């Protein structure tokens, strides 16, 4: 598992792009079907859509990792 941490969604977009770029150099791809973004904020409202190589990355409020709920 890889975790990207940032203080704003724009930085997450930037980091996601950099991760995809570096991964591609090694012949790896981000599996957007298994990738999630979990914003941790007090702000409510619509979330910005995030795409990697043309595929949307799902935004969630919690997820299960090794049987534990994170969120």
Does the residue 36 lie in any domain?
yes
Residues 30, 50: Cα–Cα separation, whole Å = 13
Does the residue 1 lie in any domain?
no
Q: How many domains does the chain have?
A: 1
Q: What is the pLDDT of residue 64?
A: 84
Question: Rounded to an integer, what is the distance from CA 32 to the centroid of its chain?
Answer: 9
> Domain range holding 63?
9-70
Question: Rounded to an integer, what is the distance from CA 66 to the centroid of its chain?
Answer: 18
Pair type for strands 55-59 and 50-52: antiparallel
Does the residue 4 lie in any domain?
no
Q: What is the pLDDT of residues 14-63, one digit of tens each?
A: 888 898 899 999 999 888 888 888 887 777 666 778 877 788 888 888 88
Q: Is-above-0.75 flag for pTM?
A: no
Does the residue 3 lie in any domain?
no
């Amino acid at each position: 598992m890889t975790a990207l941490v940032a203080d704003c969604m724009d930085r997450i977009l930037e980091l996601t792009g950099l991760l995809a770029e570096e991964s591609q150099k090694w012949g790896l791809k981000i599996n957007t079907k298994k990738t999630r973004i979990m914003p941790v904020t007090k702000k409510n409202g619509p979330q910005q859509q995030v795409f990697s190589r043309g595929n949307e990355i799902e935004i969630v409020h919690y997820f299960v990792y090794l049987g534990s709920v994170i969120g």
